[in-house]
Chains A and B, each alone.
Chain A
Amino acid sequence: MKMAQGSGMLITYALGSCIGICLYDQRIKLASLIHIMLPLNMEPGRKNTMKYADTGIRETLKLMESKGASRSRITAKIAGGAKMFEISGGNLGNIGQRNIESVRMHLKREGIQLLKEDVGGSVARTLLFDPATGMACVRSYGRPEMIF
């Protein structure tokens, strides 16, 4: 998880089935970028909180609040959750979709408004987030850059 206030571009590279979650408090320009890999933290002791959608979102919100952000002002933009390989048979490769559903559900549960998303499909994404403006940018291979 990376955090910045006012300036300094946040970036996470090559999101495949993983999801990048930008959390932002517009008023104080505090931004966080989480790179989660899996939908639910089922580790004993719940270490590695930032690897999972549920604990990653919860812990980051706590940290942002401790830095003066207000839960009611924080909004989210997300990208990722692709299916990198089309594999016939079995449930291999569904992890992206499960990540998307878990991230949406946990944002909702925490009362965070999801403003924009660029999820699913079969392309990897590099996600940038600008704490100065609250704008996100997605770079992919073979697709024009997307700003949202």
Chain B
Amino acid sequence: MTIKSYDELSSLELDTLKEIGSIGTGNAATSLSALIGKPVRIQQPEVRIMEYNEAIEWIGGPEPITAGVLVGMSGQLSGIMLSVQQLDFVNLVLESMMERTIKDYMELGEIERSALTEVGNIMISTFINALSGLADLDIKLTVPAFTVDMQGAIMAVPMAEYGGQSNYIMTIGGNFICNGKEIPCRLLLSPDIRSLNFLLRKLGVNSGE
């Protein structure tokens, strides 16, 4: 069945997306580990389809400041992928790569911003590579864009781009474990609805009728 909105996904389709979330996050963790030169393990990620307001509560409210890396997808799958980098994550990267940490995002200089952009970009690219390999899709990615601002406004970006189609958003949340510490990893994958149907069809769980 072709779906018109995320909330129409069947449990089989949801399970398939969850599997993609797991595989993608696993790959992203491996690339993060290579970048920071430390072993990074992951806990079973949680893939959820949530309404926008629910997603905002899930990530910790609209106003806290966070960093976000956004990559646009086009080709056989179009949409947006976001990596939301909360302070723990930022400090893991900065400490490993530059031996410094920050208490406020205001302390981020040009080099730190560039490093975080690249880490987000590589994690997203690895995730999408795993996805495109799995579903045999040709997906093109834009250069990454970086911002530091209220997380509610960052999370609203995929909603505004595809908000005419659905009030739902797909979130992939897991914890990276590094140096015995749990670091939340927050990824948002937002294919447009046409692409989502195409993806499910390619994976053989959506007949397209």
Interface residues of A (CB under 8 A from B): 13-18, 37-38, 42-43, 48, 51, 82, 84-90, 92-93, 95, 122-126, 141-142
Known: A16-B149, A16-B154. 13 other contacts (CB 8 A): A13-B150, A13-B152, A14-B150, A17-B157, A18-B156, A18-B160, A37-B156, A51-B163, A86-B147, A88-B142, A90-B74, A92-B161, A142-B106
B163 and A90 contacting across the interface, CB-CB below 8 Å? no
How many whole Å from A85's CB to the nearest CB in chain B?
A: 4
For the complex formed, measure the closest distance between the CB of A147 and the CB atoms of chain B, giving whole angstroms: 18
Number of residue pairs A-B, CB distance < 8 angstroms: 89
How would residues 2 to 14 of chain B score, 1 for a CB under 8 Å from any chain A CB and 0 otherwise? 0000000000000
Bin the interface of chain B by size: 20 to 34
Is the beta-carbon distance between B163 and A37 smaller than 8 angstroms?
A: yes
Q: Is the CB–CB distance between B70 and A87 below 8 Å?
A: yes
Interchain nearest-CB distance for A33 vs B (Å):
15
Which of B56, B74, B146, B149 interacts with A124 by CB under 8 Å?
B149
CB of B63 within 8 Å of the partner chain: yes
* B153 close to A (CB within 8 Å): yes
Contacts of A42 in B (CB 8 A): 164
Tell me whether B153 and A82 are in contact (CB under 8 A). yes
Instruction: Give residues 39-70 of B contacting A (CB, 8 Å).
Output: 56, 61-63, 65, 68, 70
B148 touches A141 (CB 8 A): yes
CB of B145 closer than 8 Å to a CB of A: yes
Q: Is the CB of B147 within 8 A of A84?
A: yes
CA distance A114 to B150 in the complex (A): 26
State the main secondary structure of chain A at its contact with B.
loop
Among the listed B63, B147, B167, which residue makes an inter-chain contact with A13, where contact means beta carbons less than 8 Å apart?
B63
Q: How far is the CA of A86 from the CA of B147 in the complex (A)?
A: 8
Q: Which residues of A contact B93 (CB under 8 A)?
A: none
CB-defined contacts of A16 to chain B, threshold 8 Å: 149-150, 152-154, 156-157, 160
Residues of B within 8 A of A142 (CB): 106
**Chain B residues whose CB sits within 8 angstroms of the CB of A126 once the complex forms:** 62-63, 150
Output the least CB separation between B159 and chain A (Å). Answer: 7
Write out, one digit per residue, whether chain B residues 70-86 have a CB within 8 A of any chain A CB (1) or not (0).
10101000001000000
Q: How far is the CB of B90 from chain A (nearest CB, A)?
A: 15
| CB-contact partner of A85 in B106, B145, B152, B167, under 8 A | B145
| Residue in B61, B147, B161, B167 whose CB lies within 8 Å of A95 | B161
B56: which A residues are within 8 A, CB to CB? 14
In the bound complex, residues from chain B placing their C-beta under 8 Å from that of A86 are 145, 147
Q: Is the CB of A90 within 8 A of B72?
A: yes
Distance to closest chain A CB from B26 (angstroms) = 27
Cα A38 to Cα B156 in complex, Å, equals 11
Q: Tell me the smallest distance from the CB of A18 to a CB of chain B, in Å.
A: 6
- A–B pairs, 9, beta carbons within 8 Å: A18-B160, A84-B149, A86-B145, A90-B74, A92-B80, A92-B142, A92-B161, A124-B150, A126-B150
A123 to B149, CA, bound (A): 7
Complex: chain B residue closest to A124, CB-CB: B153
**B147 contacts which of A15, A18, A85, A88 (Cβ < 8 Å)?**
A85
Residues of chain B in range 144-178 having any CB-CB distance to chain A below 8 Å:
145-154, 156-157, 159-161, 163-164, 167
B147 near A141 with CB under 8 A, answer: no
